[in-house]
Amino acid sequence: MYEWIGRLTKNERRMQMVSHWLRRMPRPLVEWMCRWVGLLLYMVGFALRRKIRENLSRLLPERTTGQIRRIARQYFEHGVLTLYEILVDVPSESIGSRSRFTVEGEEHLRRVLENGKGAILFTPHVGNYFYYYWYFSQRYPCLTVVTAGSEELRPLYLRMQSLGCQGLDYDNTPPLTLLRKLRQHLREGGVILLLGDFWRPNFPPALMFGRKTRSPRGAAQLALQEQVPVIPFYGYRERGLCHRMVIEPPVYLYKYFKSNQTLEATNRLNGFLEKAIRACPEQWFYWFNADRRLDLVGDQVVEGGGSKDDIDPVSVSS
């Protein structure tokens, strides 16, 4: 998948030429074209299609064969539409752009910030997460962590940075400096957006989908040490180029876990990630390498693997 994205983004001149012509076309026509390009990629990308189907079948065993095929096809269509949105149809504060976002539960974030505390927005790589971070960045003092070291994805991050979206580069920022800046941002009442399904082979062990994985513990560590709420949210493509974001009530992890229980807290947060991915599986970016991120050998599911987000949200007033 990274290779396919790289073919488009590494040639700046070609990308600008394609963007120039696409901007001249009506959005409904471009949307139709993107879906057909996605279908074409689905048909010719045999190896990738097979890998995605296998990963879907392992993690979503309740789905029928027909449903798995449909999800895999829609995955390709969504991917092409997302690239078009990021590289060509960048959002703005115009009425037309605002009407493309439907937001549920934003009052949860506002109430937390009104109380003078910072907040951690926690989400998976579902929908067009670049768009969603742009939305929050226009309204709140936001900071996120990105992996701009990837040559394929770097142009996408630079595009969002040009729109005012601030981020710390995980690959090029010393860990202690990264943590210090995130803590300072929270103490100043800012918002940190963290993508919880970020993965590295050297991350601490955790559980997700009842499977062994490796997850960053930054969200849990910051929430427990700084005693700030985690606000789970996810966004998804509702129709065409219109998106819906669902912001859930804040979770106060420090009321459930001690500061040294980052593993347990992370597994609980991973339960939310799983719930969000199951809600719109065709829009989770990492199906192409889920077998690397999660232990899919055999069908054994670990008990208590974080598949249930059984922390009851605590209201701000409590």
| 54-77 tens-digit pLDDT | 999 999 999 999 999 999 999 999
Measured over the CA atoms of residue 78, residue 292, residue 62 and residue 47, the dihedral's sign is: positive
Rounded to a whole number, what is the largest CA-CA distance in the chain? Answer: 56
Contact call for residues 244 and 236 (beta carbons, < 8 A):
yes
pLDDT over 50 (residue 313): no
pLDDT value at residue 312: 38
- Average pLDDT of the segment spanning 303-316: 41
- Average pLDDT of the segment spanning 3-12: 62
- Average pLDDT of the segment spanning 298-316: 45
Distance in angstroms (rounded) separating the CA atoms of residues 233 and 248: 6
Distance in angstroms (rounded) separating the CA atoms of residues 283 and 81: 11
pLDDT over 80 (residue 4): no
- Average pLDDT of the segment spanning 6-32: 75
Residue 152 lies in a domain: yes
Measured over the CA atoms of residue 207, residue 213, residue 214 and residue 216, the dihedral's sign is: negative
* Angle of CA points 170, 176, 180, to nearest 5°: 95
Which token pair is 65? 């064969």
Residue 314 lies in a domain: no
- Average pLDDT of the segment spanning 40-48: 94
Residue 316 lies in a domain: no
- Average pLDDT of the segment spanning 255-262: 95
- Average pLDDT of the segment spanning 203-232: 95
Contact call for residues 135 and 102 (beta carbons, < 8 A):
no
Contact call for residues 34 and 77 (beta carbons, < 8 A):
yes
Residue 144 phi, psi dihedral angles, 5° rounding: -140, 175
Q: Is the pTM of this model over 0.85?
A: yes
Which token pair is 160? 């969002």
Position with higher pLDDT, 180 vs 7: 180
Residue 93 lies in a domain: yes
pLDDT value at residue 164: 76
CA proximity to 43, closest of 78, 65, 71, 73? 73
Total count of domains within the chain: 1
Residue 171 lies in a domain: yes
* Domain residue limits at 90: 2-293
Give the torsion through C-alpha atoms of 177, 232, 99, 185, to 10 deg.
-20
